Every structure is written in C-alpha cells, then in structure tokens.
Amino acid sequence: AIARILRTGAKLLLLDEPTEGLAPVIVERIGQIIQLLRQRGYTILLVEQNFRFVSRLVDRSYVMEHGRIVDEFDQNGLLTQADRVKAYLGI
C-alpha cells in the first residue's frame, strides 16, 4: 500500500497504526522504510501506540485524547519520559 501511494508523487504520507498485528521482523522493515522516506524528504504523519517503535523515527510526538492534543514530546522524550507516555496509553 505504501508503494502504491508513493507512485502518485505524493510527498505527504499518512500512516494509521502501520505495525498493528504484524510480526516483529515486518515491524522492523516498516521502520526502515519510514526512515528511508524521511531521508528522501517525505513528510509523514504517523498514528501509532507503539511508542518504542516511533521514538526512533519521529521529530515530535503528540498525545491526543478525545480529539485534542494534551501533551507533546521531542524525539528523546518518548523514551526518557516513558512512565508519562505509559500513563496516557494505559500501560
């Protein structure tokens, strides 16, 4: 599906839970592809609950509740403030 979108010439990619239900090896490959797309100048809006996965891929992270942004983290904040993130996710 990602390849199909990229053939359109789009520079903005919206991904909603791309790792849900996938084997770890596939999740790793998707991470590599997202990183490559970032290096090529794509803008990516990624909705994901797996904060360990996204922490190495994003510049900023936002937490939304009921359609509103309630918190923001920089790239390192997801891991250094993991307890705060887990509280939002109910982990």
pTM, two decimal places: 0.78
How do residues 10-52 score in pLDDT, each as one tens digit?
889 999 999 999 999 999 999 999 999 999 999 999 999 887 8
Q: Are strands 60-65 and 68-74 parallel, antiparallel or unpaired?
A: antiparallel
Q: What pLDDT was estimated at residue 50?
A: 86
The whole-number average pLDDT for the span 62-76 is 89
Q: Enumerate the H helices of the chain as residue ranges.
A: 2-6, 24-39, 51-54, 77-80, 82-89
How far is 55 from 51, CA to CA, in rounded Å?
6
Which residue segments constitute the domains of the chain, with CATH numbers given?
A: 2-89 (3.40.50.300)
Query: What is the dihedral angle through the alpha carbons of 81, 84, 85, 88, rounded to the nearest 10 degrees?
Result: -170
